[in-house]
Amino acid sequence: MTIHTAGRTGGHTPRPVPPSVLKELLTADDAGRPAVPVTDDEGGAPLRCCLRRSRPGELIALVSYAPLRRWAAETGADPGAYDEQGPVFLHAGECAGPEDDGLPFTGAHRVVRRYSADGRILGGRLVGAPEDFRPAVAEAFADPRVALVHVRAVEYGCFLYEIRRD
């Protein structure tokens, strides 16, 4: 999914947890623990593998995930003290991935956190309204030093997904 922002010729791509990483995390998460699948009776958990909310009856797992560490391993960056891991919900088995190309999880306060190519935080922005989300992403990527953005929940600080330049 590509997000084209007004005034830019390029886009930005929200990225779910890839299928290969999903499989790894279900075997042993980034804290070294095996996933414990549970049936989600109520639904509503923000699934990072398909960037949608869980549906009642789906089998999901809460695992520890270190997105910046994994990105750094791909790029050779060294995030140093900015490396962190935290809880994310995933499908407890294979996932078909995102169902649409919209911006997920924008209906609540979010933080758009910016990172440089070497993995350092360059700042962030609190986004309160869904209509302010696209401008916040465009503002982040208007800075040429920004290599990627993490979108995080305000209430728990949880990682929701990353957005990269195309």
Position 3 pLDDT exceeds 60: no
pLDDT (average), residues 76-85? 92
pLDDT tens digits, 36-48: 999 999 999 999 9
Position 111 pLDDT exceeds 90: yes
Q: Please report where in the chains the tokens 């995030």 appear, as a residue.
A: 79
Query: Which range of residues forms the domain containing residue 30?
Result: 3-165
Band (pLDDT 50/70/90 cuts) for residue 102 is confident
Position 5 pLDDT exceeds 60: no
Rounded CA-CA distance 56/68 in Å is 30
Contact predicate 56/42, CB 8 Å: yes
Of 96, 147, 142, give the one whose Cα is nearest residue 118. Answer: 147
pLDDT tens digits, 135-146: 999 999 999 999
Q: For the chain, what is the domain count?
A: 1
Q: Which residues contact 113 (CB under 8 A, 6 or more apart)?
A: 121, 123, 124, 149, 150, 151, 152
